[in-house]
């Protein structure tokens, strides 16, 4: 079963939402519009990375800005060749790849050329199998989240050693004194490591 990619928003020790991107943003926006709203930290559950969003304006304004967000902007040409001079401003990173002549020939005949075809192939694969990760990536995601949210909590170093040592059960049990929402979310991230290990055997 392929799970939807989720994002989690925390206000202090309290979990506001773990949901798809748009739903998480709307729930967080509702919280931030209250008079006594605390600062919010938002994490990509797939990578553990923190992400910043602009919550000014209406909920529709917040969602509309996703189209220009550096992590979520979609190519405006829908696979068609770029009409103007130069490259489209997509935050493109240039790297060298090696393929056989038949691969280059196929790519060059795709709409938008080789680069656009490769981007579409990668995006399609990420949508079909977002949970396909190695255990090292999942450990790093849990570690990033814990560093930010629990770096000064009891047993943090012991939990981290157990996590990267592959002793996931021990890591989860050492969090007993952590705030509930932080502990439960960290345990959920660590559980993915154990599940991936089991599936790979």
pLDDT band of 129, cuts 50, 70, 90: low
The secondary structure of 145-157 as a DSSP string is HHHHHHTTSTTHH
Q: Give pLDDT tens digits for 145-200.
A: 999 999 999 999 999 999 999 999 999 999 999 999 999 999 999 998 877 655 55
- DSSP 8-state assignment for residue 178: S
Q: Give pLDDT tens digits for 30-41.
A: 999 987 777 899
Residue 27 has pLDDT above 80, yes or no: yes
C-beta separation of 6 from 47 below 8 A: no
Residue 63 has pLDDT above 70, yes or no: yes
Task: Determine how β-strand 7-11 pairs with β-strand 40-44.
Answer: antiparallel
Taking Cα atoms as reference points, which of 162, 25, 1, 128 lies closest to residue 9? 25
**Averaged confidence pLDDT in the chain:** 83
Residue 132 has pLDDT above 60, yes or no: no
d(CA 30, CA 5): 21
pTM over 0.95: no
According to the model, what pLDDT value does residue 4 have?
78
The burial class, CB within 10 Å (0-12 / 13-18 / 19+), for 68 is exposed
Q: Which carries the bigger pLDDT value, residue 192 or residue 18?
A: 18
According to the model, what pLDDT value does residue 73 have?
79
pLDDT band of 97, cuts 50, 70, 90: confident
């Amino acid at each position: 079963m392929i799970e939807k990619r989720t994002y989690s928003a925390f206000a202090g020790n309290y979990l506001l939402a773990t949901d798809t991107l748009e739903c998480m943003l709307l729930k967080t926006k509702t919280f931030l519009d209250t008079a006594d709203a605390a600062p919010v930290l938002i994490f990509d559950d797939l990578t553990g990375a923190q992400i910043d969003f602009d919550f000014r304006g209406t909920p529709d304004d917040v969602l509309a800005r996703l189209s220009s967000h550096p992590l979520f902007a979609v190519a405006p040409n829908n696979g068609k060749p770029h009409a103007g001079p130069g490259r489209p401003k997509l935050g493109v990173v240039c790297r060298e790849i090696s393929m056989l002549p038949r691969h280059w020939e196929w790519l060059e005949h795709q709409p938008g050329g080789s680069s656009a075809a490769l981007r579409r192939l990668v995006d399609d694969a990420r949508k079909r199998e977002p949970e396909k990760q190695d255990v090292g990536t999942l450990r790093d995601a849990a570690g990033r989240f814990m560093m930010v949210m629990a770096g000064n909590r009891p047993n943090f170093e012991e939990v981290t050693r157990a996590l990267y040592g592959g002793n996931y059960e021990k890591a989860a049990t050492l969090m007993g004194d952590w705030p509930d929402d932080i502990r439960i979310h960290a345990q959920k991230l660590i559980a993915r490591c154990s599940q991936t290990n089991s599936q790979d055997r």
